[in-house]
C-alpha cells in the first residue's frame, strides 16, 4: 500500500511521507510513524504506537498499544556512557510479537520470531536471537547480547555489558549486576562488567549474580542464591553465598534434550 493513499484513508495518525508500508498492514489510531521507517507486509500496529525514524520492521510483526520502537536514550551529565554516539536504527525481524507498553531503543537488533511481553524494556545496542522470549516487565540494559531460544521471565533484570548465550533460562526476579564499587571511586571503571551466562545456563527465581561473573555452560543456579564466584559448567550452585551442590543430572543436560 502506498503511503500517500494510506494517509488519505486514515485520519487520526501521523505517517511521514518517506515511510514505506508493506501490503495488508493495519495501523491503529493515534500512531506515529516517522521518516524512513520501513514496515514489512502483514504487520499489525496497535493504537498510540510510536515508531521512530529509520526503524525497520520485518513481515508479520505485531506491536500492541502504547509501545515505542527506536527510542533514543537519555543521558545524565553524570552518566558513564557517552552521549554523542550515533546509533543505527532499530531492526525488528519477521514474525516478532511485541506487547503493550514495550520500549525498544535505537541500535537494537531483534531477530525473527522473538516475543517481547508487555512493559518490557530493551535498551540501545542490544541484540536478541531468534525465538527468544523476553517476559513481562523484563529489562535488558545496553551493550548486551542475548542468544537464540532463551527465556527471560517476568521482572528479570539483565545489567549492561552482559552476555547470555543460546538456550538460557532466566527465572522471574533474577538480578544481575555490573559494578562492584556501587558507583564510587574511579577504580570501578577498570572493572565495569556485566555477567556472562554460557550456553544452556539456568538461573532460578530471585537469584543475584555479582559483577563480571560467569555461569558455565549448562550450569544451574538455584532460586534465591547469591553468586559471588564463577560457576563451573554442568554444576548446581545453591545458597548465600552460592556453593557447589552437585553435578547437573545427565537427563537435564542440554545435549540430551534433542533441541539443537
pLDDT tens-digit map of 90-144: 999 999 999 999 999 999 999 999 999 999 999 999 999 999 999 999 999 999 9
The Cα–Cα gap between 107 and 57 comes to 13
Contacts of 191 (CB under 8 A, 6+ apart): 180, 181, 211, 212
Return the pLDDT at 10.
Answer: 53
Residue-range domain boundaries for the chain: 3-73+87-250
- What is the block-wise mean pLDDT of the chain (260 residues), using blocks of 10 residues? 45 89 95 96 97 98 98 76 79 98 97 98 97 98 97 98 97 94 70 91 98 97 98 98 97 87
Return the pLDDT at 180.
Answer: 76
Strand partners, 57: 39, 92
Q: What is the CATH number of domain 3-73+87-250?
A: 2.160.10.10
Nearest CA-CA partner of 174 in 242, 118, 106: 242
Return the pLDDT at 201.
Answer: 98
Amino acid at each position: 500500500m502506498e503511503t500517500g493513499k494510506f494517509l488519505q484513508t486514515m485520519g487520526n495518525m501521523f505517517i511521514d511521507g518517506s515511510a514505506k508500508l508493506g501490503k495488508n498492514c493495519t495501523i491503529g489510531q493515534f500512531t506515529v510513524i516517522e521518516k524512513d521507517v520501513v514496515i514489512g507486509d502483514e504487520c499489525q500496529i496497535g493504537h498510540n504506537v510510536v515508531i521512530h525514524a529509520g526503524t525497520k520492521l520485518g513481515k508479520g510483526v505485531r506491536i500492541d498499544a502504547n509501545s515505542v520502537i527506536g527510542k533514543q536514550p537519555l543521558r545524565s551529565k553524570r552518566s558513564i556512557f557517552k552521549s554523542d554516539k550515533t546509533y543505527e536504527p532499530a531492526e525488528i525481524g519477521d514474525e516478532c510479537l511485541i506487547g503493550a507498553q514495550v520500549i525498544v531503543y535505537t541500535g537494537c537488533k531483534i531477530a525473527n520470531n522473538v516475543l517481547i511481553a508487555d512493559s518490557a524494556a530493551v535498551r540501545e545496542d542490544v541484540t536478541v536471537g531468534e525465538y527468544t522470549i523476553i517476559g513481562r516487565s523484563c529489562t535488558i540494559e545496553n551493550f548486551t547480547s542475548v542468544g537464540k531460544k532463551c527465556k527471560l521471565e517476568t521482572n528479570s533484570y539483565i545489567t549492561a555489558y552482559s552476555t547470555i548465550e543460546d538456550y538460557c533460562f532466566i527465572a522471574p526476579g533474577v538480578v544481575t549486576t555490573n559494578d562492584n564499587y556501587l558507583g564510587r571511586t574511579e577504580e570501578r571503571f577498570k572493572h565495569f562488567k556485566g555477567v556472562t551466562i554460557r550456553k544452556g545456563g539456568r538461573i532460578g527465581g530471585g537469584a543475584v549474580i555479582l559483577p563480571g561473573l560467569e555461569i558455565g555452560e549448562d550450569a544451574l543456579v538455584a532460586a534465591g542464591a547469591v553468586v559471588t564466584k564463577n560457576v563451573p559448567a554442568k554444576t548446581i550452585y545453591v545458597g548465600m553465598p552460592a556453593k557447589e551442590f552437585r553435578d547437573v543430572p545427565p537427563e537435564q543436560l542440554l545435549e540430551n534434550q534433542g533441541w539443537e
